[in-house]
Amino acid sequence: MTHIPDLTTADWCKAQASEGSKGCVEVAHLEEGTAVRDSKDPDGSVLFFTPHEWECFLDGAAKGEFTRPAH
């Protein structure tokens, strides 16, 4: 399991496509990696990815590997 660094001074950002109070995920890029949290619950759980894990995720997202299936 990856150690999550101190996030008290992290600079969190949210996608411009986020719709106000409907919420979105926020990310904070640190030297050790990237943290992800629910913008509606900033004191809740945080996922943390090493730089390599984050690059793999972005690559998969760009290639459509995580696109939600149509129902």
Please check whether residue 20 is in contact with residue 37, taking contact to mean a CB–CB distance below 8 angstroms. no
Query: Is residue 65 scored above 80 in pLDDT?
Result: yes
Domain coordinates of the chain in residue numbers?
Answer: 25-62
Query: What's the pLDDT score for residue 17?
Result: 76
Please check whether residue 35 is in contact with residue 48, taking contact to mean a CB–CB distance below 8 angstroms. yes
Structure tokens at 32: 């050790």
Query: What's the pLDDT score for residue 20?
Result: 66
Query: What is the Cα–Cα distance from 34 to 47, expressed in whole angstroms?
Result: 8
Query: What's the pLDDT score for residue 46?
Result: 94
Q: Which amino acid is at 17?
A: A
Q: What is the pLDDT of residues 10-51, one digit of tens each?
A: 999 988 877 766 778 999 999 999 999 998 898 999 999 999
State the sign of the Cα–Cα–Cα–Cα dihedral 25, 27, 16, 71. Answer: negative
Task: Note the pTM of the prediction, 2 decimals.
Answer: 0.83
